[in-house]
């Protein structure tokens, strides 16, 4: 299993990055995923490839929810002095990658994970349905909505950039 897991690491890393939009968070998510799979193992009747992506996605959902709780707490008036965000980090990314990441962030988690598995990992719709334990029709409809949302968001970004004064 360790050999198979080692071969999956690059794909898990790409998937984690597509979920998090940040290389540092993606690396943390990758590490947590590998640790969880090694510690808990894989059920006998489950494909390791599918199981690893499912574990990664579930860990990200847990982390995302935790961040929302922390963010809400940080926005409390008594904690407002601690909630400053560094603009330097935002400027480190190239504009086009930043636009795509922004567009991906707009997507709900279920759509983001499906488009990541299809577009970045190259999984078939059937493989995604099995990996995420959802019907094939659900994969197709969420993917269609995700693509439409991404297209609309990127179109809006391009229009706003073309209207900015030089």
Query: Model confidence over 97-115: pLDDT tens digits?
Result: 677 777 888 888 888 899 8
- Whether residue 80 sits in one domain with residue 1: yes
- Whether residue 53 sits in one domain with residue 40: yes
Count how many domains the chain has.
2
Q: Which of 27, 54, 84 is the last residue of a domain?
A: 84
In sequence order, the 6+-apart residues with CB closer than 8 A to the CB of 56 are 12, 15, 16, 19, 29, 30, 33
- Whether residue 24 sits in one domain with residue 36: yes
- Whether residue 100 sits in one domain with residue 79: no
Q: How many degrees, rounded to 5, is the angle at CA 114 between CA 7 and CA 154?
A: 115
Question: CA–CA separation, 16 vs 121, rounded Å?
Answer: 11
Q: How many degrees, rounded to 5, is the angle at CA 67 between CA 107 and CA 122?
A: 40
- Whether residue 124 sits in one domain with residue 77: no
- Whether residue 55 sits in one domain with residue 7: yes
Domain, as residue range, for 124:
86-166
- Whether residue 112 sits in one domain with residue 46: no
Where is pLDDT greater, at 89 or 113? 113
Share of the chain above pLDDT 70, in %: 81
What is the pTM (predicted TM-score) of this model? 0.55
Least confident of 92-96, 99-103, 115-119: 92-96
Average pLDDT, integer, range 148-162: 79
- Whether residue 79 sits in one domain with residue 157: no
- Whether residue 157 sits in one domain with residue 112: yes
- Whether residue 65 sits in one domain with residue 8: yes
- Whether residue 66 sits in one domain with residue 143: no
CATH number of the CATH domain containing 22: 1.10.1740
């Amino acid at each position: 299993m360790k050999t198979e897991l080692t071969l999956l690491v690059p794909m898990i890393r790409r998937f984690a990055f597509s979920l998090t939009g940040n290389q540092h968070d993606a690396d943390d998510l990758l590490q947590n995923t590998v640790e969880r799979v090694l510690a808990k193992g894989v059920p006998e009747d489950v494909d390791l490839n599918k199981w690893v992506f499912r574990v990664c996605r579930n860990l990200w959902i847990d982390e995302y929810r935790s961040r929302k709780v922390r963010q809400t707490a940080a926005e409390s008036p008594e904690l407002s002095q601690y909630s400053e965000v560094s603009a330097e980090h935002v400027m480190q990314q190239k504009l086009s990658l930043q636009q795509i990441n922004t567009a991906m962030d707009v997507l709900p988690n279920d759509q983001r994970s499906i488009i990541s598995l299809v577009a970045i990992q190259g999984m078939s719709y059937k493989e995604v349905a099995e990996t995420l334990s959802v019907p094939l029709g659900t994969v197709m409809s969420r993917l269609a909505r995700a693509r439409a949302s991404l297209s609309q968001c990127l179109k809006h970004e391009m229009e706003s950039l073309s209207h900015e004064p030089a």
